[in-house]
Structure 1
Amino acid sequence: MDELDPVIHAAARLKITATLATIASGDRISFPRLQELLDMTAGNLSTHLRRLEDAGYVDVEKTHQGRMPVTYLALTTTGRRAFEDYTEALRALLGTAS
């Protein structure tokens, strides 16, 4: 399984990446909405997002709406490509198992 990206391969990061990949390129999702979709705690989601951000796979934009802080998330071009590569490698791996 060396060909599977270890950054994406962790179950939580795979869920995050797969969810973000469903969002059109150029669009983004708020942190609370992603947290709700994935049913993850804020701390757990933050930890995994940090790893994805450090790898250059996720763009984290912190801004304000009025006085309220808001965090928006999106896959970067690199992240989208890494997810595509990951799914191709997984399909190939599963194909050899049958």
Structure 2
Amino acid sequence: MADALDPVIHAPARLRVVATLAALDAGDELSFPKLQKLLGMTAGNLSTHLRKLEDAGYVRVTKTHEGRTPATYLALAPQGRRAFEDYTEALTGLLRGAGS
């Protein structure tokens, strides 16, 4: 059952990112600085974990400009939402002793 835990999500920092984005309604976005503040992560650390999640298709990153200032918005992609649901289901089963 432990191998059912998605290794992309299972890393603690990425789990926090995905759980935070999963709390948003589907289609809603969060700005990079807001997510960084919520999680108390450095910009570099958050960027590294977001890249891994984006490469897996779990997070959608939208880069735009507000006036002349660059802005980055983040959302959980449908594939990421499904992966998080599968992850929480597998973790719940593991905690309940399923498969042991």
TM-score normalised per structure 1: 0.98
SS of 2:96's partner is helix
Q: Per-residue deviation at 1:78?
A: 0.1
Aligned residues: 97
Give, as a single letter, the amino acid of the residue that structure 1 aligns with 2:96: G
Q: Flag structure 1 segments of 5+ consecutive residues without an equivalent.
A: none
Q: C-alpha offsets along residues 27-81 of structure 1, whole Å, 9 cap, x if unaligned?
A: 0000000000000000000000000000000000000000000000000000000
TM-score normalised per structure 2: 0.96
Aligned residue in 2 for 1:28: 29
Q: Flag structure 2 segments of 5+ consecutive residues without an equivalent.
A: none
- Percent of counterpart pairs with the same letter? 71
CA distance in 2 between counterparts of 1:59 and 1:17 reads: 11
Q: Is 1:51 aligned to residue 59 of structure 2?
A: no
Taking only aligned residues, the RMSD between alpha carbons, in angstroms, comes to: 0.8
CA distance in 2 between counterparts of 1:23 and 1:41 reads: 22
Q: Which ranges of 4 or more aligned residues in structure 1 deviate by more than 4 Å?
A: none
